[in-house]
């Protein structure tokens, strides 16, 4: 097959996320090549959307990795031209909107940080202020109430103490396959949070691991996700887990997963769309991988 992998940072030829983008693109490209498939991708193009439209028409299947506020429309292009290996555009649209995602998950019984109305913000209390649409911890702040300037394009949520972790799962036609739990390296720069890499896999208590994977399956079911999905959690000191974000696309953790998993992750993505996924007990990891950003 000819498969398009359209990664936005590489496609646009630069930006602060280009290192992550190049690593994800290289991982998927190598995985598909290993299976004997041809891979095309936009690189340093003037108009990324035009490039995705053209390449997807020339491909048998494709997947897009792009910022939340662009991913839905780009996914629609892929869906109109070829087989989409990622989440459906309707699912992407919900996941990209943090306010809507929190609403859907909360109504579905998933623990999420509560959105705090501006009239309830307490002066000395700490909160998380983040864009309603955004990715890679961009413009996410931990601030006291007195320092917050509410804006229509941001949401304010309760601050939850704990570890930053994620789960990686692949969703097929009739099953959800858990891959790994990952540690996220989040550094605090003043009030701003910045993503600086991760550890794959990351060991947590057995009870917490079971709960995170149970929640992950419920999350992707509620949001009608398909393909590879990354889910960000805060794992509290008491063992409770809160979902803070759902990424309906390959995430940076896929770079580490490809190094430690006993399956080709690109093959799993294809099997999710065209075949059947292995049983969870068949998927194992060996060793660990650290991905660090400067």
Domain boundaries, the chain: 2-84, 93-111+161-186+196-292, 118-158
Distances in Å between the Cα of 231 and the Cα atoms of 114, 175, 194, 251 are 17, 17, 17, 9
Mean pLDDT estimate for the chain: 94
Q: What interhelical angle do 68-81 and 48-57 show, nearest 10?
A: 30
For residue 70, pLDDT over 60 is answered with yes
128, 156 contact by CB (below 8 A): yes
Please state which CATH class domain 93-111+161-186+196-292 belongs to: alpha beta
Using the CB atoms, write b or e for 197-227: b if 16+ within 10 Å: bbbbbbebeeebbebbbebbbbbbebbebbb
Across residues 167-182, what is the average pLDDT? 97
Residue 74 burial class via C-beta count within 10 angstroms: exposed 0-12, middle 13-18, buried 19 and up: buried
pLDDT tier at 13, thresholds 50, 70, 90: confident
For residue 138, pLDDT over 80 is answered with no
For residue 241, pLDDT over 60 is answered with yes
Q: Residue 280: which of 204, 197, 167, 199 has the closest Cα?
A: 167
For the segment 179-194, what is each residue's pLDDT rounded down to a tens digit?
Answer: 999 999 998 888 888 8
Q: Residue 103: which of 211, 223, 232, 226 has the closest Cα?
A: 223
pLDDT at position 188 is 83
* CATH architecture assigned to 2-84: 3-Layer(aba) Sandwich (3.40)
């Amino acid at each position: 097959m000819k498969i398009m992998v359209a990664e936005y940072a590489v496609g646009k030829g630069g930006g602060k996320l280009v290192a992550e983008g190049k690593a994800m693109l290289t991982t998927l490209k190598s995985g598909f090549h290993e299976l004997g498939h041809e891979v095309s991708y936009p690189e340093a193009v003037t108009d990324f959307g035009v490039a995705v439209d053209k390449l997807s028409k020339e491909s048998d299947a494709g997947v897009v990795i792009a910022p939340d506020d662009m991913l839905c429309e780009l996914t629609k292009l892929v869906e109109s031209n070829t087989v989409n290996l990622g989440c459906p555009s309707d699912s992407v649209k919900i996941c990209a909107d943090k306010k809507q995602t929190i609403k859907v998950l909360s109504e579905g019984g998933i623990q999420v940080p509560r959105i705090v109305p501006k009239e309830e913000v307490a002066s000395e209390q700490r909160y998380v202020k983040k864009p309603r649409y955004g990715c890679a911890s961009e413009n996410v702040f931990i601030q006291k109430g007195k320092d917050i300037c509410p804006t229509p394009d941001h949401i304010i949520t309760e601050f939850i103490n704990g570890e930053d972790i994620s789960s990686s799962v692949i969703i097929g036609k009739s099953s959800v396959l858990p891959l790994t739990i990952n540690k996220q390296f989040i550094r605090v720069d003043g009030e701003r949070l910045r993503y600086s890499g991760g550890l794959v896999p990351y060991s947590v208590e057995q009870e917490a691991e079971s709960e995170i994977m149970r929640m992950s399956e419920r999350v992707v079911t509620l949001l009608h996700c398909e393909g590879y999905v990354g889910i960000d959690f805060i794992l509290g000191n008491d063992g409770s887990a809160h979902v803070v974000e759902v990424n309906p696309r390959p995430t940076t953790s896929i770079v580490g997963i490809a190094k430690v998993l006993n399956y080709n992750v690109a093959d799993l993505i294809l099997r999710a769309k065209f075949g059947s996924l292995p049983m969870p007990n068949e998927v194992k990891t060996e060793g660990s991988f650290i991905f660090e950003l400067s």
